[in-house]
Structure 1
């Protein structure tokens, strides 16, 4: 029944497509217009990728921290290393540069030289007051020289925060309004005030080389780079695939038809993002060029089949009918396996990956329908291909390649297996050397100006990635108690001993600064108060907050006085180092803060991202296993033979192992971008296996189950299309190496390499396996009639084969 339905179904589909050409073209046009209107709903992401599900403990802790202290990634820093800053000319230029920025309503707080405030004791009010560090009325060369000495030597509270005492590097801070830091208003602010023209004008006038960083600035420029690269990828993918397509087919109309299809596919992919109201992220941004790269092989199979039919009998109507009815199943199956490779991301708990998987898999299926409808319809209106358009079917270089494959399989089977085993061992050894990376900035454009500025802050201020420690004292107002302050101070001393972390800041620093101010600013007194000093110094602090200086405490302690925070910044370090740092800090926390009195959690963007990476790796390993299982089920349904499932999986799993080995030996870490390689490559590479085995079974029937003849006939017939599609896929994915993002480059190059390995495995190892297992699959009982006859031949065609 299924057999009859399958054959009849595709004959029915073919007749419906060719009889309803105008209606279908109008429908596709209207749907394309509808999808184009959905573009208005597209929006670019303004937050970092959250790789953890909302219900994960790390996310819950991070959100709890944000509730107490607000968005922690709202700091923009502007710094430099220049001894000429403390001069009247440059101070004035700086005030003009920063003054306009501070007036914007997006700025919540600024910490700069002209508005820098220092604590001063007010004996009459028994409180501290904030007074300007620089008196603008006294500015002169000598005055600023004194202030420079005071800045570096008498303000230990700001050391590590505003200056590096050893190198003389300085940075000032702009705190963006937390309400707009994750919106488009942040982008508008950065582009308006920190654009290249404005920065260059200041640098030219002052001679000072500004270095700008901080999460809002990094995220804005990083997002802009993603947006810029979408156009680059789409254009490059169209160019390279069209050139390859024309080189293979030597036909402008075939090339233009293929380009039309993938351009519509790209429009639909953007429309899908808008329709589902998904954000454009670093992952979803690669879907449009992916559609181009994956769509072209569909066009190759269908157009190649049409031209083969024309060359065989010259009947256009019959050729178009057969393009749909004879290749429809194969194309559907290959698109389903490719879509399945992407769809496995949907089972992860990561919203980022779910959205990527949904949009990619949907649009791959859309591509199938586009190709199946547009190619036959357009060719039905065109004249028959000329002889020159069919010349590629007998190209010498293709025949030479196929003959080399045949000779290798026929004469060197042992060498094939030795090579396969050697590559397998290579891959397994390499797998044990793979490392996991959880860095936010690792994949950012290394040549971009803002990345070079990150390097400056890594060197001078030990990084820009915030790591937060939140301390719940379990009682209101306990955060300012002497016992708590001493514990926090000891924890900060441990943090200072770790070279990968910056000097920490907390309420302890403020209390130390208060004692220094109480003793008239003498830096020797920058330390925690003694028991005798605590009462009156802490009372000074409390009196100060009552007089409108609540900002002094609110950044470090919540409004109830129950929660305190310790903020440090982290260099871009490997996951292994980060884990050791976490373990060291956790050990110290467990020692200092008894669980019955305190609850201490580590959090912050850097910490959340690192945990998210590990979580993602585990999920994606499961998704890859699920992809293998899913495609195995599909193979079982298609071929109904356990032996054929094993034979079909081996040539596709081996390239994955080889690629993993290459990653290990060349130091390419497992991270959110590179872990995608395996599911994507596996889903695509299986397409070649399906085409090969489908044609192989067809040859078996035509040749009375003669294995050798069937294998070599299959290599000749299927080898050309497999070669064409693999070359297109290789160069298509290589387009991603044009990216400035390390992760995208790794994704493109690794998928391209894996697909190249897979083509060779499917053309060399797979036939060798079939020949070696000749005795065990040489009869019709072992290779059971499939549920779906992928490349079904009608009786007329069977007769043609017998007569040849």
Structure 2
């Protein structure tokens, strides 16, 4: 049969490559140069990962909030918990530090102890005046003590915002210009201005300043991602080159492989730039992934070349056979691997779409580079020496193969029982898996900014903004006393919720206005009665500071109000409980025919995004299984073989999921990737084994046992080599500072190790046990194309 991927096709490809070596090298060089030109289009992400589709209801509500009140994640907080701060010199220095940021164009406003003003009733003008707590600077201990007494005892409006009266922790709030929040200017201000000033202050006054807030966290988190790219690439190159050299004992082969995968990395960066994607925590993983996935391609091709040279000593013939007899195998294994990554494209999540697109294109790119560069380079090099071929007859690897064959031959029951026990234990473990909606769980736990997050959680109940927007559907409807009372009732629930901070809204301001109306008497810090409301509002309206007081809490029309609270880092279960409680209260307090109330904010958005991805995990993995089943059907034209081939690849996924349950590793955006990635890679071994098995069946006149053992011996070594490279290659991600990246590396490594054992032990055992139903000419018909040509002789598989 003349098929697109027939032997004749690959022979033509081999002639094309070997007869046009210089032209192909020039094409690769030009392509690499052109990809290099795209690098300047790469940009690092300055926003949080939005896991939801753009048209998702939660996204639309969040965008509606931003249109009304602007960017909500523009707050940076500085905090100090130290009794020595309350000295005249230190507190003045603290105020001077906070005030110094006002001169920066990136800063919208700064609110510190120095900036605090108290509302004072002006009976003569029938208005409220603003009087600063600190008129110039603190000059004596008496002034300091008076200030502490007023702040901590008389003015609850500022409590839990700029200070914690219980622990005496003080903080300052820096609001950045909303226009620079998602631009490089944010990073420049934080790295070049904010951090140096704080460090200088700490050195001068021996005070530990804590810093947090979404802009600060996002900046340092992004910087960690950038720093880890080069770390991962270096670690992946080191680990894979050492393993490669251990297997081949050849500096030449190792060097060639490293050159190939480095060009692949350059192409990956070029693809990111060409598509104008941002470098995120996920796309940053692709360059080292290409190294890890590219090295097995090099192993297959170089191992085959050395086998051929060892057999007949003809270099030209050996190079031709490398292409004709390994081309299909490497093509199909790379296509299946790329398919595992490509399934993320259907998730409708921009983050995963970009990851899946770049990864799948890069995998096809590294396949082309390996197929083109390795035979061409070897064509210009002298024949391998005897020492380069010694690895083909290692005793330890033969011992390993003997062990595998012995297990399959004599211990099939043991293999089945072990697989069954693992399956049952895994299913039990799966029911213990939890879903994490934490925005900071994957951040570096040892980083100073992570410790600061915990500090502000403890002192001020969190820094993750949660917003509630109230639409009264009436112009100036927010200031109606009935609306204020409804908002106050909702705020009482927020105050009672331990995971949420004290809310900030116009309600607090109105309460403070009543306190001011009664000359600062603390017992009047409450909402006014209907009779008092008119008098107090008339004072507030006459105040020249009215607009400034309301602008962050009420929109310009007076129709919309916001209630801002901050959340502790909580799992998805707690977040859903909080959401249910808030929704129940909102539905009870705010009639739907008069009010529209939405819950939104960064933390809420991320939690919903995580839930969305989990729901799409099954779809993504199902698509990967379907696509790979189609490949199997096209290659073997046997439904029974599809089932047999899927079993040893699905079992490792179940084992990994079970381990996640037992070890407490939650389902989250980073660990969701594990299953599709691992399945797409692990099925490669199945393809190699079954292709060789089908060939052996024909060569051995359908004698099943002989064919299984022959296939096991032929493919076992290469499967072992590549699995070890993949295991240690993915293990480099364990050195990451990001918990999600560590989990991804460990879980994929473990899954691939389980998959190797399943393909070397369980798969051949199944073939032997089901020989009557699957190993016959009707079931294993002539394939649509041959992965390994029939004329392949026994010593040249890989």
> Once the 2 structures are TM-superposed, how far is the Cα of residue 151 of structure 1 from its aligned partner?
1.4
Is 1:128–2:128 an aligned residue pair?
A: yes
> Once the 2 structures are TM-superposed, how far is the Cα of residue 270 of structure 1 from its aligned partner?
0.5
Is 1:403–2:441 an aligned residue pair?
A: no
The answer (yes or no) to whether the contact 2:465–2:601 under 8 Å persists in 1 is: yes
Is 1:732–2:725 an aligned residue pair?
A: no
The answer (yes or no) to whether the contact 2:99–2:110 under 8 Å persists in 1 is: no
The answer (yes or no) to whether the contact 1:348–1:619 under 8 Å persists in 2 is: yes
1:185-224 correspondence to structure 2 within 5 Å = 185-195=185-195, 197-224=196-223
Return the alpha-carbon distance in structure 1 between the equivalents of residues 219 and 359 of structure 2: 25
1:96-107 correspondence to structure 2 within 5 Å = 96-107=96-107
The answer (yes or no) to whether the contact 1:2–1:788 under 8 Å persists in 2 is: no
1:381-400 correspondence to structure 2 within 5 Å = 381-400=380-399
The answer (yes or no) to whether the contact 1:74–1:175 under 8 Å persists in 2 is: yes
Residues 250-288 of structure 1: per-residue CA shift (max 9 Å, x gap)? 000100010001000000100110000000000000000
Return the alpha-carbon distance in structure 1 between the equivalents of residues 774 and 72 of structure 2: 64
Return the alpha-carbon distance in structure 2 between the equivalents of residues 625 and 706 of structure 1: 35
> Once the 2 structures are TM-superposed, how far is the Cα of residue 137 of structure 1 from its aligned partner?
5.5
Residues 702-742 of structure 1: per-residue CA shift (max 9 Å, x gap)? 11111111111111110110000000000000000000000
Where 1:783 maps in the other structure, the secondary structure is coil
> Once the 2 structures are TM-superposed, how far is the Cα of residue 99 of structure 1 from its aligned partner?
3.3
Structure 1 residue runs of 5 or longer lacking an equivalent are: none
CA RMSD of aligned residues (A): 1.3
- Seen in structure 2, the aligned counterparts of structure 1 residues 502 and 799 have a Cα distance that, compared at 3 Å, is closer
Residues 341-389 of structure 1: per-residue CA shift (max 9 Å, x gap)? 0000111110111110000000100011000000000000011111111
> Once the 2 structures are TM-superposed, how far is the Cα of residue 799 of structure 1 from its aligned partner?
10
1:470-619 correspondence to structure 2 within 5 Å = 470-544=469-543, 547-619=544-616
Return the alpha-carbon distance in structure 2 between the equivalents of residues 778 and 143 of structure 1: 93
> Once the 2 structures are TM-superposed, how far is the Cα of residue 198 of structure 1 from its aligned partner?
3.4
The answer (yes or no) to whether the contact 1:302–1:327 under 8 Å persists in 2 is: yes
> Once the 2 structures are TM-superposed, how far is the Cα of residue 683 of structure 1 from its aligned partner?
0.2
The answer (yes or no) to whether the contact 2:52–2:348 under 8 Å persists in 1 is: yes
Return the alpha-carbon distance in structure 1 between the equivalents of residues 232 and 239 of structure 2: 10
The residue number in structure 2 matching 1:362 is 361
Where 1:59 maps in the other structure, the secondary structure is helix
Return the alpha-carbon distance in structure 2 between the equivalents of residues 798 and 447 of structure 1: 55
Return the alpha-carbon distance in structure 2 between the equivalents of residues 580 and 99 of structure 1: 40
The answer (yes or no) to whether the contact 2:714–2:794 under 8 Å persists in 1 is: no
> Once the 2 structures are TM-superposed, how far is the Cα of residue 138 of structure 1 from its aligned partner?
5.5
Q: Name the TM-score, length of structure 1 as normaliser.
A: 0.98
Where 1:566 maps in the other structure, the secondary structure is strand
The answer (yes or no) to whether the contact 1:398–1:720 under 8 Å persists in 2 is: yes
The answer (yes or no) to whether the contact 1:702–1:798 under 8 Å persists in 2 is: no
- Seen in structure 2, the aligned counterparts of structure 1 residues 654 and 699 have a Cα distance that, compared at 3 Å, is same
Q: Which aligned segments of 4 or more residues in structure 1 are displaced greater than 6 angstroms?
A: none
Residues 226-253 of structure 1: per-residue CA shift (max 9 Å, x gap)? 0000010000000000000000000001
Compare 138-147 and 600-609 and name the one that shifted more. Answer: 138-147
> Once the 2 structures are TM-superposed, how far is the Cα of residue 131 of structure 1 from its aligned partner?
2.1
The answer (yes or no) to whether the contact 1:3–1:789 under 8 Å persists in 2 is: no
Compare 693-702 and 116-125 and name the one that shifted more. Answer: 116-125
> Once the 2 structures are TM-superposed, how far is the Cα of residue 778 of structure 1 from its aligned partner?
3.0
Is 1:251–2:264 an aligned residue pair?
A: no
Return the alpha-carbon distance in structure 1 between the equivalents of residues 675 and 539 of structure 2: 62
Where 1:550 maps in the other structure, the secondary structure is helix
The answer (yes or no) to whether the contact 1:116–1:133 under 8 Å persists in 2 is: yes
The residue number in structure 2 matching 1:184 is 184
Aligned length in residues: 796
Structure 2 residue runs of 5 or longer lacking an equivalent are: none
> Once the 2 structures are TM-superposed, how far is the Cα of residue 96 of structure 1 from its aligned partner?
3.6
Return the alpha-carbon distance in structure 2 between the equivalents of residues 121 and 799 of structure 1: 98
Is 1:644–2:641 an aligned residue pair?
A: yes
> Once the 2 structures are TM-superposed, how far is the Cα of residue 5 of structure 1 from its aligned partner?
5.7
> Once the 2 structures are TM-superposed, how far is the Cα of residue 204 of structure 1 from its aligned partner?
2.6
> Once the 2 structures are TM-superposed, how far is the Cα of residue 327 of structure 1 from its aligned partner?
0.5
The answer (yes or no) to whether the contact 1:339–1:362 under 8 Å persists in 2 is: yes
Return the alpha-carbon distance in structure 2 between the equivalents of residues 700 and 313 of structure 1: 26
> Once the 2 structures are TM-superposed, how far is the Cα of residue 397 of structure 1 from its aligned partner?
1.4
> Once the 2 structures are TM-superposed, how far is the Cα of residue 212 of structure 1 from its aligned partner?
0.3
The answer (yes or no) to whether the contact 2:408–2:765 under 8 Å persists in 1 is: yes
Compare 146-155 and 259-268 and name the one that shifted more. Answer: 146-155
> Once the 2 structures are TM-superposed, how far is the Cα of residue 94 of structure 1 from its aligned partner?
1.8
> Once the 2 structures are TM-superposed, how far is the Cα of residue 548 of structure 1 from its aligned partner?
4.9
Q: Name the TM-score, length of structure 2 as normaliser.
A: 0.98
Return the alpha-carbon distance in structure 2 between the equivalents of residues 695 and 164 of structure 1: 71
- Seen in structure 2, the aligned counterparts of structure 1 residues 530 and 566 have a Cα distance that, compared at 3 Å, is same
Return the alpha-carbon distance in structure 2 between the equivalents of residues 429 and 228 of structure 1: 39
> Once the 2 structures are TM-superposed, how far is the Cα of residue 542 of structure 1 from its aligned partner?
1.7
